[in-house]
Amino acid sequence: MRRKLAAGNWKMNGGKAELDGLATLCAEHDGAAVDILICPPFTLIGAAAQQAEGHALAIGGQDCHASEAGAHTGDISARMLAEAGATAVILGHSERRADHGETSDDVRAKARAAHAAGLIAVICVGESLEQREAQNTLDIIGGQISSSVPDTATGENTVIAYEPCWAIGTGLTPTSDQIGEVHDFIRTRLEKRFGAGVGRSVRLLYGGSVKPGNAAEIFTVSNVDGALVGGASLKVDDFSPIVSVLEGAANAS
């Protein structure tokens, strides 16, 4: 059985003051039946990892370079993230693809680097509103899965997060049927490529305006193994209830 995962992406938000919320999160969910991951800005990874030490909370990065080292001013390698205390890294988020021109080939190279450094690669895929309205969603997702996920992927080192671009930070959420269609499609693609064992072991997260109020419905959808949460993960009062709902779904399954 796949262990469910609640992941929080702080994006370019947060400072030392927000780290206080991690202590509360740890206290409320130590011994939880689900995995919890927080991905703060690079500047907070070391301090966050110290805060989480000894607790059921993992810390991750929001990006890494495909190279282990080199003349890449402003970048950070997967090995550096691991040394700072990270155990995972988000890759291919739609904001990175749009703002920095990252291609699926770039994401695949970064995922390989993450795997080599012992990190879990949380690989993001998703369609734009225009692509959804043109009924091209599955073609887009299929292409991203094929090109972004490296051959080194396993259920232990890879998580895939489906985040429809049009639902990120907008308050819009796809219907349960729409989410289920994409997650079932991803699962089938993974099983065909990697075999049933690996294909069924990779966790699939949904992301895009996940809130305490809609989490319960989302977590009942087929092949949804948790959530990648944006803004709501910055405040423990918003994120902790989502984790609790996911725990309830895990206990019920």
153 touches 202 (CB < 8 A)? yes
Task: Determine which one of 18, 95, 127, 163 is catalytic.
Answer: 163
Q: From CA 8, how far away is CA 226, in angstroms rounded? A: 11
For the chain, strand residue ranges (E) read 5-9, 35-39, 58-61, 88-91, 120-125, 158-162, 203-206, 226-229
How many residues appear in the chain?
Answer: 253
Residue 93 annotated in active site: yes
Q: Where do the H-state alpha helices sit in 63-204? A: 78-84, 94-99, 104-116, 129-133, 137-148, 176-194, 196-201
Residue 163 annotated in active site: yes
Measured CA to CA in angstroms, residue 116 lies from 119, 121, 231, 234 at distances of 7, 10, 30, 29
Can you say how many angstroms the Cα of residue 120 is from the centroid of all Cα atoms in its chain?
Answer: 10
Q: From CA 120, how far away is CA 137, in angstroms rounded? A: 26
Task: Determine which one of 93, 102, 115, 183 is catalytic.
Answer: 93
The residues annotated as belonging to the active site are 93, 163
